[in-house]
Amino acid sequence: MDKKKIAVPLVCHGHSRPVVDLFYSPVTLDGFFLISASKDSSPMLRNGETGDWIGTFEGHKGAVWSVCLDTNALRAASGSADFTAKVWNALTGDILHSFEHKHIVRACAFSEDTRLLLTGGIEKVLRIYDLNRPEAPLREVDKSPGSVRTVSWMHSDQTLLSSCTDMGGVRLWDVRSGKIVQTLETKSPVTSAEVSQDGRYITTADGATVKFWDADHFGLVKSYNMPCTVESASLEPKYGNKFIAGGEDMWVRVFDFHTGDETACNKGHHGPVHCVRFSPGGESYASGSEDGTIRIWQTGPLTDHEETKSHAANGSVGKVKVSVEEVSWKIGGFHIAEEGKTKEKE
């Protein structure tokens, strides 16, 4: 029997419900980090390279739909079904701010300068909070035409991007005027929208299609039909020569950016894939699934195996707040817990 090349992911356990959002920090002096949102109401922070658990953010009382980290990975933000968006100290796990909404918060994003937090959700309103003056009146951008699914900042915080749960298209808003300046038309609702690291492209997933848009002139650059309905897509940040997509067939596929040809198909999840994201250096990518796991896949050469094996990077089953002492170990690729257990990367 011929040996097949099979990708061996790091499998990150810890969430007890589906994983619905993932976000990588930029590379910081302490490395880079991965934060995950889950319907279990407790976002988790991990070492982005090894997948090792660093801490769990406790405080939400409903499913968490969206998470993000600021540029220095010092603060985290989350949007939840408990009608709040929370900002956390990413070193201690403490809640810094809790912003009340009138309905479910589906999306949140820090501005590039980390001063502002953008939120959106079922209310059809985009809100901007000044984190330097959290008690000051918030700013509400003109009403969104539909329930907000994704939000992002662009053009050095001069432009906002949003998509809707119940209608197609990506809307681009001028921050100063608060008005929609452009709509990128799609047939199906856009479930994932990512601005590339170099600011050149907007990557969107709608229905069974992944599209790439010029982030400056807003023209459609490429559009590829996928083998199934995809919920998320991400462009490789360093060379921009490949992209990943995941969706209802439970597989994480890699495609050539220039041709759209499928170059790899990673199997391992036991439920639909809700989110995929490349790490900031492009050396690996993460997928989050209905099965409650995060899998981190290496972009480089595959390993020869007859059967798929998985290296586990187990998260905390009990809910423990992250401590400063634990964070100090994060670069070493292992986690020393309060109870004295030592877990190294396998």
Both tokens of 170, joined, read 């990506």
- Mean pLDDT along residues 80-85: 98
Q: How far apart are CA 243 and CA 278, in angstroms?
A: 9
Q: How far apart are CA 223 and CA 47, in angstroms?
A: 33
Residue written as token pair 């035409």? 145
In this predicted model, what pLDDT tens digit does every residue of 204-236 receive, in sequence order?
A: 999 999 999 999 999 999 999 999 999 999 999
Average pLDDT, the chain: 89
For residue 335, what pLDDT band results from cuts at 50, 70 and 90?
very low
Query: Three-state DSSP class for 151?
Result: strand
Both tokens of 335, joined, read 């986690």
Task: Identify how many contiguous H helices and E strands the chain contains and give both numbers.
Answer: 1, 32
* The pLDDT value given to residue 5: 63
Query: Three-state DSSP class for 158?
Result: coil
Q: How far apart are CA 259 and CA 271, in angstroms?
A: 28
Both tokens of 102, joined, read 């009138």
Torsion 265-270-275-277 (CA) sign: negative
* The pLDDT value given to residue 142: 82
In this predicted model, what pLDDT tens digit does every residue of 295-315 receive, in sequence order?
A: 999 997 544 433 344 445 544
In this predicted model, what pLDDT tens digit does every residue of 262-278 receive, in sequence order?
A: 999 999 999 999 999 99
* The pLDDT value given to residue 307: 36
The torsion angles phi and psi of 136, rounded to 5 degrees, stand at -70, 155
* The pLDDT value given to residue 342: 34
* The pLDDT value given to residue 300: 72
Domains in the chain (CATH in brackets) are: 196-302 (2.130.10.10)
Contact 184, 213 (CB under 8 A): yes
Residue 15, pLDDT above cutoff 90: yes
Residue 2, pLDDT above cutoff 70: no
